[in-house]
Chains A and B, each alone.
Chain A
Amino acid sequence: MDSTIIIEKGVFIVIIFAITMLMAMYSTLAERKIAAWLQDRIGPNRAGKGGILQPLADGLKLFSKEEFLPDTPNKFLFVVGPAISMSVALMTSAVIPWGDKLHLFGRDIVLQATDIDVAILYVFGVLSVGVYGIMIGGWASNNKFSLMSAMRAASQMISYEIAMGLSIIALLMMEGTLSLREISANQSGMHWNVFYQPIGFIIFLVCSFAETNRTPFDLAECEAELIGGYHTEYSSMRMGFYLFAEYASMFISSTILSVLYFGGYNYPGMEWATQNWGVNPANIIGIVVLFIKICFFIFFFMWVRWTIPRFRYDQLMRLGWKILIPLAIANILVTAVVMLLLQ
């Protein structure tokens, strides 16, 4: 029994890892394609049919580049920076419920690497470690622009982590659990949290943009002021790791957004499908639905990137501290009052 569960979880983790990498890889192509379409262009279309092999070409190019090490006293930290970014971006996927369960080989397979009861705390903890990758990289680069970018990333992370945490508290008050599996299960039958917590959702969405360092909050890699920011001194695959980590964390953020607020693997008519078609088809549709939601949010991240320009630094801070945090606290109060009245 013990060995089968290890094999089951092992296979599942490898599959999740592969899917995360694949999604991150093709997000780079999607980003370029969507950027092109939104600007009335076609985008990369030479590598493979319609540019489908472009990510492979990009990866190959990054691998074959010279690995340059700047004259820095922190050679070890310089190497560790991108590694932290990358591994942290991949670690979060462990607690995501990708589906309810599949009935295979005479046993129920839970579609989640691990169902810990503090899943949300885990996600938050791991996501905020992500900034260490940027900070260490920027610090070890021995370059004032990189350092400045690292400081920006850190202060931005602190400012937005608070609003993010507060926005989720209202959600947790309604759900009464920290487990992502239970939160997903509670949202079955179109009881999606976005309908009950629209303001919390908007705050969380804005904060995810800030947490993943995406436009309009990509001050850390501001080309105009900081020549690329923390990855100025990086080249070859270390640079690739930073870029890749950004897309991987974008994928994870989209997943968390869809699990917390858009019902995760739930879709209208899921119970009917389970009764009429059986457990497996209903849940496979669930997985597909979850991925459609994730893809929508990834598209949304890119759509926003090519719509709004970068915020100025003081605007960023004002939005975080003076607007999002009060709004999140007001949201908590209103939620609490409404919950008390409904009891």
Chain B
Amino acid sequence: MSIETISLSGRKKEVSNKKMSFLESLYLVAIVKGLFITIKHLFTRKVTIKYPEQVRPMSPVYRGQHMLMRDEEGRERCTACGLCALSCPAEAITMKAEERKPDEKHLYREEKYASIYEINMLRCIFCGLCEEACPKQAIYLTTSKKIVKANYERDEFIYGKDKLVMPLEQALNNTKLKTAN
């Protein structure tokens, strides 16, 4: 057996360049075969996902829009240390720290918090380094399950705390689920 004829997969086909017979050169047989293949596809299940109505389930590790987490009591975890901004390779994160007032203990977990926290979604490359850098587990890209929406205005891409912080109900729900388990 010469090396040209060995087929390990069993699917190898010898290609020949022989002259077509008259029947073959009419192409009719080949065309009818092709028509049967395509008509079968008319009745198969369509693979299209009608996007805005139907959403493809996201992978658990998909890095989408960031979320600033709350703890079990619904307090913001972020302490505005700035490590995320420091680690960010795209310089997308800005923040301004503020000291917690005594009557704000139910709002913020640490004594210092971020009064302004902005991510420029045009600069962000969704690498997840901020998530890795955060010592307080305050920022995650995997929990929001959202894709950053398209927009016509560049200003609209700078997301502040209003869009980034986890909704309070979600935090309380999470705690409920945890205690129930």
By a CB distance below 8 angstroms, the chain A residues around B41 are 37-40
- Other-chain residue from B26, B34, B47, B50 in contact with A40 (beta carbon distance below 8 A): B47
Q: Interface digits, A74-107 against B, CB 8 Å rule (1 contact, 0 not)?
A: 0000000000000000000000000000000000
Within the complex, the shortest CB–CB distance from A326 to chain B, in Å, comes to: 10
CB <8 Å contact, A42 and B38: no
In this assembly, does A11 line the interface, its C-beta being within 8 Å of a C-beta of chain B?
Answer: no
Q: Interface digits, A33-67 against B, CB 8 Å rule (1 contact, 0 not)?
A: 01001111110010000000000000000000000
CB <8 Å contact, A40 and B44: yes
Q: Which residue on A lies nearest to B34, using beta carbons?
A: A307
Within the complex, the shortest CB–CB distance from B13 to chain A, in Å, comes to: 20
In this assembly, does B101 line the interface, its C-beta being within 8 Å of a C-beta of chain A?
Answer: no
Given contacts A202-B28, A319-B27, contact A40 B46 (CB under 8 A): yes
By a CB distance below 8 angstroms, the chain B residues around A38 are 38-39, 41-42
In this assembly, does A303 line the interface, its C-beta being within 8 Å of a C-beta of chain B?
Answer: yes
- Other-chain residue from B28, B31, B44, B46 in contact with A307 (beta carbon distance below 8 A): B31
**Residues of chain A having any CB pair with chain B under 8 Å:** 34, 37-42, 45, 202, 303-304, 306-308, 318-319, 323, 327
- Other-chain residue from A42, A307, A308, A327 in contact with B48 (beta carbon distance below 8 A): A42
Q: Which residue on B lies nearest to A309, using beta carbons?
A: B34
Total residue contacts A-B, CB cutoff 8 A:
43
- Other-chain residue from B26, B35, B39, B46 in contact with A323 (beta carbon distance below 8 A): B26
CB-CB contacts below 8 Å: B130-179 with A: none
In this assembly, does B25 line the interface, its C-beta being within 8 Å of a C-beta of chain A?
Answer: yes
CA distance A40 to B35 in the complex (A): 15
Mostly, the B contact residues are helix
CA distance A275 to B42 in the complex (A): 40
By a CB distance below 8 angstroms, the chain A residues around B42 are 34, 37-38
By a CB distance below 8 angstroms, the chain A residues around B26 are 323, 327
CA distance A3 to B31 in the complex (A): 52
**Residues of chain B having any CB pair with chain A under 8 Å:** 22, 25-28, 31, 34-35, 37-39, 41-42, 44-48, 50
By a CB distance below 8 angstroms, the chain B residues around A327 are 26
CA distance A34 to B42 in the complex (A): 8
Within the complex, the shortest CB–CB distance from A214 to chain B, in Å, comes to: 14
By a CB distance below 8 angstroms, the chain A residues around B28 are 202
CB <8 Å contact, A41 and B46: yes
Within the complex, the shortest CB–CB distance from A135 to chain B, in Å, comes to: 28
CB <8 Å contact, A303 and B39: yes
CA distance A50 to B35 in the complex (A): 26
Q: Which residue on A lies nearest to B36, using beta carbons?
A: A307
Within the complex, the shortest CB–CB distance from A330 to chain B, in Å, comes to: 11
Q: Which residue on A lies nearest to B25, using beta carbons?
A: A323
By a CB distance below 8 angstroms, the chain B residues around A304 are 31, 35
CA distance A323 to B28 in the complex (A): 12
Given contacts A319-B27, A323-B26, contact A306 B48 (CB under 8 A): no
Q: Which residue on B lies nearest to A322, using beta carbons?
A: B25
By a CB distance below 8 angstroms, the chain B residues around A202 are 28
CA distance A318 to B25 in the complex (A): 9
CB <8 Å contact, B34 and A41: no
CB <8 Å contact, B50 and A45: yes
CA distance A301 to B50 in the complex (A): 28
Given contacts A202-B28, A308-B31, A319-B27, contact A41 B39 (CB under 8 A): no
Given contacts A40-B44, A41-B46, contact A303 B38 (CB under 8 A): yes
CB <8 Å contact, B27 and A42: no
Given contacts A40-B48, A307-B31, A307-B35, 4 further A-B contacts (CB under 8 A): A38-B41, A42-B50, A308-B31, A308-B34
Q: Which residue on A lies nearest to B28, using beta carbons?
A: A202
CA distance A235 to B41 in the complex (A): 34
Q: Which residue on A lies nearest to B39, using beta carbons?
A: A303
CA distance A172 to B137 in the complex (A): 86
Closest 6 CB pairs of A and B: A42-B48, A307-B38, A307-B34, A38-B38, A37-B42, A41-B48
Within the complex, the shortest CB–CB distance from A231 to chain B, in Å, comes to: 27
CA distance A38 to B35 in the complex (A): 10
CB <8 Å contact, B38 and A306: yes
CA distance A41 to B47 in the complex (A): 6
